[in-house]
Structure 1
Amino acid sequence: MNKILTSILILSSIYFTVNQQFVFAQTNSGNYTIVIHGGAGGFPENAPDTLKQAYLNSLSEALSIGKNILANGGSSLDAVEKVINYLEDNPLFNAGRGGVFTSEGKHELDASIMFGKDLSTGAVAGVTIIKNPISLARLVMEKTEHVLFAGKGADELGLKLGVPVVHNSYFHTEEQYQSWLKSRMPKQPGETVGCVAIDKFGNITAGTSTGGRQNKLPGRVGDSPLINAGTYADNRTCGVSATGIGELFIRHTVAYRISALMELKGYSLKQACEEVMYKVLPEGAGGIIAVDKDGNYEMIFTTPAMFRAVANSEGLFQTAIWK
């Protein structure tokens, strides 16, 4: 009897300790950080002032959406989804409404999201009727036992789950169409959107959404819907969202590599991001945004420009385009 009682006490102690640690890990610290990218590429510095301001205003609006959610104690998961929803609905960006054209003159969209608390993930690739791919990616994570749905199966899942759907022509914008007609060649790669945030409870979420590469072959999938390549989040290390030449980010497992350098080699977020962007990837590959478990952030790119923004609980609120 004494042995049984002792065992019960030991197990109770372990259970209490584990749950005590869990509660402690979810304590409201009051601190948060959020970073956004609207794609890395070759946006010219001599672009019309009205266009520059339109991008900066859009980044500021997106940042305000995420900041307000986090400041009011909301989750990083909600903040990332809502920020990317805004960017998907904004025709200035190559995601959702402003998605580029495939070589067939159609639109195929990709997105992924990852929650660093338990490494849960969801992604969709090649969707053609889903208004906000990032929201369907979240439902894949929360409502199915799978990680990635593609093509017709992803569209049908969206219909089944009741997400807003549109005709493929909804994604058609005149600016993207004229660009496609003129060149029929790939644009400067990397116009993708993404968001990474850590909330007051220490939970990190990363998300990425894209229309792909201009004039891509039908069925081509880049890094944006691929966990480990274009998106990654782990509460123990950091969250990352990438933008650029997807094939390069896939080959070098960029998003996870940054986290792994922190976890396995003890790198700081800055060291890990610089190692990958400057030493692993070639010049001009694209960019990344990242936030670590302490709220530090990085926004690194090797292209001429990257639409980006950052805010935190200390009052920081910035938007930028060029270096």
Structure 2
Amino acid sequence: MTCMACLVIHGGAGTIPRASFTPASYQQARDGLQEALRAGWAVLRDGGLALDAVEAAVIALENHPSFNAGHGAVLNAAGDHELDAAIMDGRDRRAGAIASARAIRNPVIAARRVMEDSDCVLLSASGADAFAREQGLDMVAQSYFTTDLRRRHWLRAQEEKAGLLIRARSEAEKHGTVGAVAFDDAGNLAAATSTGGYTYKRAGRVGDAPVIGAGTYACNGVVAVSCTGLGEYFIRRGTAHDIAARIRYRGDNLVSAADAAIAELTEDGCGAGLIAVDGAGNIAMPYNTEGMYRGSIAADGTLSIGIYADDFAMLELIK
């Protein structure tokens, strides 16, 4: 049987400025995108569910230090990590999410357990961590999430607050998110998003990633969306659901609906990006920042990745 599935991932909009990338760090980020695509595609290639594919892809991104989720997450104003994640199944619009978790190695796994093994949609803070422990998930010390890069970003944010910065912080030093959307052979859609939030955020702050309809949404026959950017704007606009509404009720095509959402966020002054796939397997990846870590495996098996506007290209054809 011919595989008609597709998978799209992102590692956040507001990437490291090109001039600041070393060859090694640039390649590391691209390798991380490839690893996540392959993890999700291993599910879809064998006829698996979109839900399983997005979870697998986001786990890989959470485990990779180049991205602001899991290992590599940013630090809040107190110098701690608070992690958010969500997952949504387009088949019945079930969803699960966790917010401000402090010890869950892979937040997206906890989000799925909330969806499947609790009567909640969203658990937060100590309640999320306690639930994950009850579920037997891998729990880690805060130090697991910290990298030298994120510590430097935190110190620069502290300097900015004290008025000591010489060079303004880049978008990449402020925030980031990871996510995946998928369309499987049965026509099912799913979305998942995970993030550490933004650097030096107020303790307890929750962004759009775990808010269903803001940063994450999936509905079979319509669209699956995962967003990246400053979450407050996405929450106010209900961005992920707005894209679904434009398609479902107005009859907009995927690209126009996604572009309109980014245009509104641009008007707000928000650096933003998103990935989306519709009920026919069409893909959209718009953003308004210098770049967005992103990759896709289309229905024809072409694997493509990129960070900036001019380096997104097909790498190979996967059978």
CA contact (8 A) 1:114 1:122 kept: yes
CA contact (8 A) 1:102 1:218 kept: yes
Matched ranges for 1:84-163 at <5 A: 84-163=58-137
1:317 match: secondary structure: strand
Cα distance, 1:281 vs structure 2: 4.1
CA contact (8 A) 1:29 1:201 kept: no
1:300 pairs with 2:273 = no
Match of 2:317 in 1: none
2:140 match: secondary structure: coil
CA contact (8 A) 2:273 2:287 kept: yes
Match of 1:77 in 2: 51
Match of 1:30 in 2: 3
Superposed CA offset, 1:67-87 (max 9, x none): 121011111111111111111
Cα distance, 1:29 vs structure 2: 7.3
Separation in 2 of the partners of 1:213 and 1:102?
A: 7
**Aligned-pair Cα RMSD in Å:** 1.4
Cα distance, 1:239 vs structure 2: 0.2
Match of 1:319 in 2: 305
Separation in 2 of the partners of 1:241 and 1:304?
A: 19
1:183 pairs with 2:157 = yes
Cα distance, 1:312 vs structure 2: 2.1
CA contact (8 A) 1:66 1:82 kept: yes
1:211 pairs with 2:196 = yes
CA contact (8 A) 2:265 2:271 kept: no
CA contact (8 A) 1:103 1:216 kept: yes
Superposed CA offset, 1:241-273 (max 9, x none): 000010000000000000000011000101111
Cα distance, 1:145 vs structure 2: 1.4
Match of 2:296 in 1: 310
Cα distance, 1:187 vs structure 2: 5.9
Superposed CA offset, 1:15-48 (max 9, x none): xxxxxxxxxxxxx873101000000004212221
Match of 2:276 in 1: 290
1:195 pairs with 2:168 = no
Cα distance, 1:178 vs structure 2: 2.0
Q: Identify if the C-alpha distance between structure 1 residues 228 and 250 changes in structure 2 by more than 3 Å, giving closer, same or farther.
A: same
CA contact (8 A) 2:233 2:270 kept: no
TM-score by length of 1: 0.89
Superposed CA offset, 1:114-153 (max 9, x none): 0000000000000000000000000000011110000111
Q: Which one has a larger percent helix, Structure 1 or Structure 2?
A: 1
Unaligned runs of 5+ in 2: 161-168, 310-319
1:276 aligns with one of 258, 261, 268: 261
Match of 1:12 in 2: none
Letter in 2 for 1:109: L
Separation in 2 of the partners of 1:295 and 1:95?
A: 27
Superposed CA offset, 1:200-222 (max 9, x none): 11110100000010000100000
1:50 pairs with 2:27 = no
Separation in 2 of the partners of 1:247 and 1:129?
A: 24
After superposing the two structures, state which structure 1 stretch, 64-73 or 256-265, moved more: 64-73
Separation in 1 of the partners of 2:170 and 2:308?
A: 18
1:90 match: secondary structure: coil
Separation in 2 of the partners of 1:290 and 1:144?
A: 27
Match of 1:19 in 2: none
Separation in 1 of the partners of 2:237 and 2:170?
A: 22
1:254 pairs with 2:239 = yes
Separation in 1 of the partners of 2:3 and 2:28?
A: 32
Cα distance, 1:180 vs structure 2: 1.1
Separation in 1 of the partners of 2:103 and 2:7?
A: 29
Superposed CA offset, 1:38-60 (max 9, x none): 00004212221221111111111
Letter in 2 for 1:112: A
Cα distance, 1:61 vs structure 2: 1.3
TM-score by length of 2: 0.90
After superposing the two structures, state which structure 1 stretch, 106-115 or 308-317, moved more: 308-317
